[in-house]
Chain A
Amino acid sequence: MLYALMGLGLSLVTGILNIPNFAHGALFAIGAYLLATVAVAVGNFWIALLIAPVGVALLGLAIEYAGIRRLYAAGHDYQLLFTFGGALILSESIILIWGPIGSSYLPPEILRGGADLGFTMYPKYRLFVMVAAGVLAFATWLFLEKTRYGAIMRAGIENKEMVSLLGIDIQKLFTVAFGLGAYLAGIAGALTAPIRGLNPGMGPDMLGIAFVVVALGGLGNLLGAIAAGLIIGVAQALVAAYWTEASTVVIYAVMAVILLVRPQGLFGIR
C-alpha cells in the first residue's frame, strides 16, 4: 500500500503538470525525517504522524509556488530540470540537517513486535501501515471522484486548456495538486520511517519504485496507480516466498511484461 500511496502522489503531479517529479523521492525522505524529529520533540508518534506530512505538503507548495510555477511558460524541459535539481538540493539538505549517517526510529510501543496470523508471523506495525495506507488511498480516491474539486483535478489531467477556458484558476489547481502529491509522499515517508529507518538515500530508493507504479498504472491515472502499487507489492511478496533472491527484480519484470502487452499501462490511455 505504501507503493500505491507513493505512486498516487507521483501520478497526480505527473498527470496535471505533465512532468515527472524527480523531487518526489526526496519529499518522501523528508517526511520520514520530519516524523522522527517531531516525534522526538513532542514525545508522541501520532501527533508527529499528523504534523510531518503537512510539513512536507507546505514544502511542496513552496516548491511549486517559488519554482515550478515560474517555469510553466518555459516548457517541460525546464520544469523537469528544476525538479531534478530540486531533488539533489533536498537530498543534500537532508545530509546537512540530519547528517550522513542513518538512524532507526521505533514504532510506537503498542505496535512493536510481531503478530501471529496463524499461518505466519507479521509485524504489527506493518499491519497498521497496510490499513492506514489503504484508508488514505481510498480517501484520496473519494476526494478525487466524489468532490467538485476532485472532478476539476481529474478534468485538469484530461484537458488543462478546457478547464482553464471554463474560468477555473489553473495555476491554483497546479499548486493544490503539487501540494497534495507532496502530502502523499510525506505521509508515505512518515509511515515508512519505523520500518526502514532513516537514511539520506531512502528517497531515491523509493522514487524508482514510484516511477514503476506510475508507468504500470498508466501515466496520470490515479486508480491505475493504486492498482499498480498493489500488484507490485503482492508480486514482490509472492515471489519472495518461493524465490527470495528475485524479490527486487520482480518489480521491474512485472512492469516490463505488462508494458509489452499494454504500452499505455494498465489503465492509461496515452
Chain B
Amino acid sequence: MSRTSRRDILKAGGATAVLGFPAIVRAQAKEIVILGLWDQTGAFADVGPINDRGMRMALEERGMTILGRPIRYITRDGATQAGASTRRVEEAVDGDGAKFVVGPWSSGVALAVSEVAKRKKVVHLFSGGTEDISGARCHRYSFQWAASPYTAAKTVVDSFMKANPEAKRWHLLVADYAFGWSVEKYIKEVGKTHGLEFVGADRHPLGEREFSNYVQKAAANRPDAVAMINFGGDAVAGAREIFNFGLTPKVPLIMTWSSGVEELVQLSPEIRQNVWVGSNFYYTADTPGAKEFVKNYQAKFGNPPGYAPSAAYSMTRLLLAGFDKAKSAEVQDVVKALEGIEVNDIVGPMRMDAATHQNIRPYFFMRCKQKAAMQHETDFADIISTGDAPLPKEYAACKDIGSF
C-alpha cells in the first residue's frame, strides 16, 4: 500500500502552482473596462462632471472591483453631440476594450450611441426622456433607467390636477428634440383624461436662452398653467423669463422633467413660487438607498445630489447588480441578467422590463417651498406624490426586443 508523503503533496502543490496559478493571476488581472460617456463640453457641459461624480461613487463603493476583477473606469467627453459621442464610444470599445457604456445625458445623442452599442454588441445604460430606446428602436443591448415618458406624464398630470382641479387650460413649452417630443405626446394623452385644453405648444431648440418670445405667446393665451418640457439651462432660462413676465406666481409653472436640485438652485426663491416639479430623483426621497447615498454625497461634495449624479450612480449600481446576478462579465450574460432584474435602489423598487428594457420605477412630483418655509438653503421642495404607472401596452412601440 503506498502512502502519500509530505514530499508528494508539496510536489503536487508545486505542479498545480506552476500550471494553474498563472491562469488565476491572468484572470484576476483581467480588468473590466466600463465607459462613462459624460459631456464636458457642449450644451450639457455643466452636467457631465456631476454625472461622473455619481458613477465614480457607485464604483468606489465596490472598491473598483467586481467578480474579483478590477474595474477600469474610463470617461470620454461626448460634447453633447451625436458625432463626437459615437466616435468616442467606438474608440473606447475598439481601443480600450470597453464593453459596458453608461451615458450620455442627451436623449438625441443617446439614440445614436444606442445604435453603436447594438452594432458593437456592448451593454449600454442610459437615463433620459426619449421613449425610443425602450420603444421603436429597442434592442438587446440598451437599457433605459429613467422612468418612461408616460410614467412621468401620468404622475405629473394626475398629481397636478389633483391639487389644481380648475387649471384646465395649459400652455406647453417643449424642447425640440427626442425627449421633448416623447413627454409632450404623453402629457397630451394623459391630459385628455382630465379634460385639459392645450391652448398653445411652442417648441424651442436645445440650448435656447432667449425665452421672451415664447413667454409672450404663452401670456397672450392666458393659460391656467404653463408646463415646460425641457431640461437644464433651458428650463432655468424659461422659468426665469416666465417670472419676469409676471406669469408666476399667479399662474402655476410645471417643470415636467426637471433635474431637481441642479435647476432649482439656479432659481431664486421668488422665482420658485408656485412652481411644481417632476423629476426622476429628489434627494429627500424616503428610501434607505437614497438616505445613504445623499448622506455620502453631501459629505463628499457639500451639497445634495440632483438627478444627474443620482442617475449615474443608480445606473452604475444596476450594471454591477447585473454582473452579480450573471456571475459573469460576458456581455450577453450581463444582458440576460439585467433583463427582468429587480432591485431596491435610491428611487425605491425598480424592475427592468425584459420585453422592452424600460425600467419600471417611481417618478417624483414636488411642489417648491415658499422662502419662509425653507429650513435651509437647499430645502427647495416637498415631494407630494410618486407614480410608477407603466406604459400601457397599446402605446408600447417595442414589439420585439430582438436577438443578440
Q: Which A residues form the contact surface with B (CB < 8 A)?
A: 100-107, 112-114, 120-123, 125-126, 194-197, 199, 201-202, 205, 236-237, 240-241, 244-245, 247-248
User: For the complex, is B270 an interface residue (Cβ under 8 Å from A)?
Assistant: yes
The 3 closest A-B pairs by CB, nearest first: A240-B213, A114-B246, A113-B246
Given A120-B216, A196-B237, A244:B244 Cβ within 8 A: no
Task: Give me 11 A-to-B residue pairs in the complex whose CB atoms sit less than 8 angstroms apart, sorted by A's number.
Answer: A102-B266, A106-B271, A114-B219, A194-B244, A196-B237, A197-B236, A236-B210, A241-B216, A244-B204, A245-B202, A245-B203
Cβ contact of B214, chosen from A100, A107, A240, cutoff 8 A:
A240
Instruction: Tell whether, in the assembled complex, residue A197 and residue B237 are in contact, meaning their CB atoms are under 8 Å apart.
Output: yes
Q: CA–CA, A106 to B246, complex, Å?
A: 12
Given A240-B216, A245-B205, 16 more pairs with CB closer than 8 A: A103-B266, A104-B267, A105-B268, A112-B246, A114-B219, A114-B245, A120-B220, A121-B216, A123-B212, A123-B246, A237-B213, A244-B204, A244-B213, A245-B202, A248-B205, A248-B208
**In the assembled complex, how far is the CB of residue B184 from the closest CB belonging to chain A, in whole angstroms?**
14
In the complex, chain A residues whose CB is within 8 Å of the CB of B270: 106
State whether A104 touches B216 (Cβ < 8 A): no
Contact partner of B240 (CB less than 8 A), chosen from A100, A104, A122, A247, is A104
Q: How far is the CB of A244 from chain B (nearest CB, A)?
A: 5
CA gap between A197 and B271 in the complex, in Å: 12
B390 interfacial by beta-carbon distance below 8 Å: no
CB closest chain-B residue, reference A198:
B266
Question: Is B189 on the interface with A (CB-CB < 8 A)?
Answer: no
Residues of B within 8 A of A (CB): 45-46, 49, 176, 202-205, 208-210, 212-214, 216-217, 219-220, 233, 236-237, 240-241, 244-247, 262, 265-268, 270-271
> Given A114, A199, A236, A241, which contacts B217 in the complex, CB threshold below 8 Å?
A241
Kindly list chain A residues whose C-beta atoms are within 8 Å of the C-beta of B212.
Answer: 123, 126, 195
A240: nearest chain-B partner, CB-CB: B213
| Other-chain residue from B202, B219, B240, B246 in contact with A197 (beta carbon distance below 8 A) | B240
Q: How far is the CA of A237 from the CA of B204 in the complex (A)?
A: 14
For residue A115, which residue of chain B has the nearest CB?
B246
Rounded to whole angstroms, the CA-CA distance of A94 and B176 in the bound complex is 30
Residue of A nearest to B220 (CB): A120
User: A114 — which chain B residues lie within 8 A by C-beta?
Assistant: 219, 244-247
Name A104's contact: one of B210, B247, B268 (CB within 8 Å): B268
A106 to B277, CA, bound (A): 21
Docked-complex contact B271 and A122, CB < 8 angstroms? no
